[in-house]
Amino acid sequence: MTASIGEGPHRHHAHVDPLAALRAPGDPPWDVYLTGTVFLDIIFTGLDSAPVRGTESWARGMGSSPGGVANMATALARLGLRTCLAAAFGDDHYGEYCWDELKEGEGIDLSPSRKVSGWHSPVTVSMAYEGERTMVSHGHEPPPEEPAPDCPPRARAAVASLTPGRREPWIAEAAKQGTRIFADVGWDETGAWDPAGLADLEHCEAFLPNAEEAMRYTRTDCPRAAAHALTEYVPLAVVTLGAEGAYAVDGRTGESAGVPAIAVEALDPTGAGDVFVAGFVTGTLAEWPLADRLAFAGLTAALSVQEFGGSLSAPDWSEIGAWWRKVQSYENQDPAALTRYAFLEGLVPEEDIEAWPRRRAVPTIGFRRPG
């Protein structure tokens, strides 16, 4: 069996501030604001195949970490952005664990969040095998008040998950304050796939659906055509193409860019989409060219799928730097590929902190912390 040991209560990630050159007095106190549901994720790894009805499957590894909106919050914080999260936390052991991991372990501001007495934390069990995952979730009725405050804190940007047919008042309020809204969307269970149902898209600067979602919303049969069509509804459309990378169109300038995916051995894709969005938001706030933003988002997502879990797998700058140094050492490396990521040279930490790919210990809530 693979041991499930803790990473330690307070992890220290290599500190890089991608917005250092842009910060000025009077800036919003937060770079990114998020709201949503935090799950306790329990991840089973090392399964040889999908579970079979009527049989018992043994996993070679198991771990746990905050999930749900915590995946995105952790990814942003590890990339050096000042991140603020509004969420409800249960007052059970799962809720306490998630709160501590996010606040103390990742340095995420939880001042708009709250602990709800008598509410059980939502839980997701994820089983990773063959580069895919199967999930089972459980949760009680959410607290009566929405975790999102009526007036969100000032932030440079916010990431919103749009729900077809429903408006979220905080999105319009944040946009009114000058916050740049980046939106993704889940599967439309109604089957309508009507862009008019995404009413809050009018407040958004960027929309980041996957290829299938983009084509369904635009009634096109090509994800790149879908990206162009989406600029009728939002200034910047970014469509993720899975193994083919990503494609983006800026409707304000007419610029488009496509970047291929980085080939890696996928261990667990949980949270990869959130990590991609976090990378793209980071590059956008740092005012990088569109192609660099896409390349960086794809790189962070690729690094994340090599590890287990959602928030646990989000890379930090030391891992990005280790990857950059490693790929430059390969013989017969494609010069064009190196040029594509040359913008990292002035960003990544110079010290060789650790080897790549990094193998993290998987945290569990089964051990008490020392001290």
SS3 sequence, the chain? CCCCCCCCCCCCCCCCCCCHHHCCCCCCCEEEEEECCEEEEEEEECCCCCCCCCCCCCCCEEEEEEEEHHHHHHHHHHCCCCEEEECEEECCHHHHHHHHHHHHHCCCECCCCEEECCCCCCEEEEEEECCEEEEEEECCCCCCCCCCCCCCCCEEEEEEEEECCECCHHHHHHHHCCCEEEEEECCCCCCCCCHHHCHHHHHCCEECCEHHHHHHHHCCCCHHHHHHHHCCCCCEEEEECHHHCEEEEECCCCCEEEECCCCCCCCCCCCHHHHHHHHHHHHHHCCCCHHHHHHHHHHHHHHHCCCCCCHHHCCCHHHHHHHHHHHHCCCCCCHHHHHHCHHHHHCCCCCCCCCCCCCCCCCCCCCCCCC
Q: CB under 8 Å to 113, separation ≥6 — which residues?
A: 85, 86, 87, 88, 89, 99, 147
Query: 268, 323, 221: which is closest to 63 by C-alpha?
Result: 268
pTM over 0.85: yes
Pairing of strands 61-68, 38-45: antiparallel
Which parts of the chain sit beneath pLDDT 50?
A: 1-11, 356-363
CA–chain centroid gap for 46, Å, is 23
Torsion angle, alpha carbons of 277, 282, 284, 286, to 10: 180
CA distance 316 to 329: 21
| Contact between residue 150 and residue 68 where contact means Cβ atoms under 8 Å apart | no
CA–chain centroid gap for 316, Å, is 12
pLDDT at 1: 30
Residue type, 116: V
Q: What angle do CA 204, 205, 208 make, to 5 degrees?
A: 85
CA distance 44 to 60: 8
Residue written as token pair 């013989």: 331
Neighbours of 39 (CB within 10 A): 26
What the block records as the tokens of 297 is 């988002």
pLDDT at 10: 42
Residue written as token pair 């898209």: 201
| Contact between residue 271 and residue 285 where contact means Cβ atoms under 8 Å apart | no
At 151, give phi and psi (nearest 5°): -115, 100
Query: 131, 362, 128: which is closest to 266 by C-alpha?
Result: 131
CA distance 247 to 252: 16
What the block records as the tokens of 330 is 């390969």
Residues constituting the chain: 371
pLDDT at 149: 67
Render pLDDT for 239-279 as a digit per residue (tens, 0 to 9): 999 888 999 999 999 999 999 887 765 555 556 789 999 99
> What angle, rounded to 10 degrees, do the helices at 211-218 and 223-230 form?
60
CA–chain centroid gap for 351, Å, is 26
Neighbours of 95 (CB within 10 A): 22
Query: 232, 85, 238, 247: which is closest to 158 by C-alpha?
Result: 85
What the block records as the tokens of 328 is 């430059």
pLDDT at 9: 39
pLDDT at 234: 97
What the block records as the tokens of 155 is 């932030």
